[in-house]
Amino acid sequence: MKEMSVTELKDLMDSGEDFQLIDVREPNEYEVAEIGGELIPLATVPDNADKIAKDKKVVVHCRSGKRSANAIQFLEQQHGFDNLYNLVGGILAWSDEIDPNVQKY
């Protein structure tokens, strides 16, 4: 599984490159802290695979990186994705390394 650090994601955001950011946390978590991703909770990923791009980089994140890894594993095995990156450390790493205003929970 391909991975991306939060600093690499920040660089990607700042570069203006076209990519998709998917947040697989739950809606209540998204309300507490978010970094601009499209919310597709993990349990709904199978029904929403068609909303995830196959023609550009897609970074998938959650709180710490475990649920996003599970989502990527499913999408790679069941739908043949090869353009997905797991955000190492998730929202917690983003808060620690990029933006301390993003609330930890």
Q: pLDDT value at position 1?
A: 96
pLDDT of residue 80: 98
Say how many C-beta atoms besides its own lie within 10 A of residue 23's C-beta: 28
List for the chain the helix, strand, coil content (%; round to 5). Answer: 45, 15, 40
Residue ranges of the domains in the chain? 2-97
pLDDT of residue 42: 98
pLDDT digits (tens, 9 = 90+) for 30-63: 999 999 999 999 999 999 999 999 999 999 999 9
Give residue 57's pLDDT.
Answer: 98
Active site residues: 62
| CATH code for the part of the protein at 2-97 | 3.40.250.10
39: left (phi over 0), alpha (psi -120 to 50) or beta: beta
Tokens 């990607």 -> residue: 12
pLDDT of residue 81: 98
**Which pLDDT does position 78 carry in this prediction?**
97
10 Å CB burial of residue 12 (0-12, 13-18, 19+) is: middle
Q: Mean per-residue pLDDT for 84-104?
A: 98
Q: Is the pTM of this model over 0.75?
A: yes
What average pLDDT does range 69-84 have in this prediction? 98
